[in-house]
Amino acid sequence: MLSENKVCRIGILSLALLLSFTTLASALPPEHEPLKPRVPIQERAYYRNLQAPLYQDTKASPSDVVEAGSKIYQRICVNCHGVTGKGDGLSAGFLPMLPRNFTNCLFQRKRTDGELFYVIKFGSWPMPPMVPSITEVEAWTVIPYLRTFCQH
């Protein structure tokens, strides 16, 4: 026979367990130093200056390029980076660190298009390389859309 005290303790324990499971399920991993460069030092100067073949300024790209970029994003990137670009996509909770939060304007200002291209092409653990799943032209095309997540 369980004493009333034991029943109460079991009740409290299962409540605590339930609470920790629900927080675990909804907890996202932390973002890892978003402003730290991701392009290796030997290649950084080259990629920082690499120009997109499609446009001069990603913040003033023609709307058809942004539209095409949005389609690529919704097809491949949204799963991790999320609809709102905050890094809270469906798979984000399974990764050891948060996918980049593109609404962070400090991050956006810090990175040139070429640096973003480098990571899209070659990945940055745990993000896998996206080329050749997408072409290099598609990698450049998605960048103007990434830029739209910073609103100021």
Instruction: Determine if 68 is a binding residue for ligand HEC (CB under 6 A).
Output: no
Question: Which stretches within 73-149 are classed as H helix?
Answer: 78-81, 105-110, 113-122, 136-147
Cα distances (Å, whole numbers) of residue 96 to 14, 25, 55, 73: 27, 14, 35, 22
Instruction: Determine if 52 is a binding residue for ligand HEC (CB under 6 A).
Output: no
Interface region with ligand HEC, contact rule CB under 6 A, candidates 1-9, 14-22, 58-66, 96-104: 96-104
Q: Which of residues 14-43 bind ligand HEC (CB under 6 A)?
A: 32, 38
CA 87 to chain CA centroid, Å, is: 4
Instruction: Determine if 65 is a binding residue for ligand HEC (CB under 6 A).
Output: no
Which amino acid, 74?
Q
Instruction: Determine if 142 is a binding residue for ligand HEC (CB under 6 A).
Output: yes
Instruction: Determine if 147 is a binding residue for ligand HEC (CB under 6 A).
Output: no
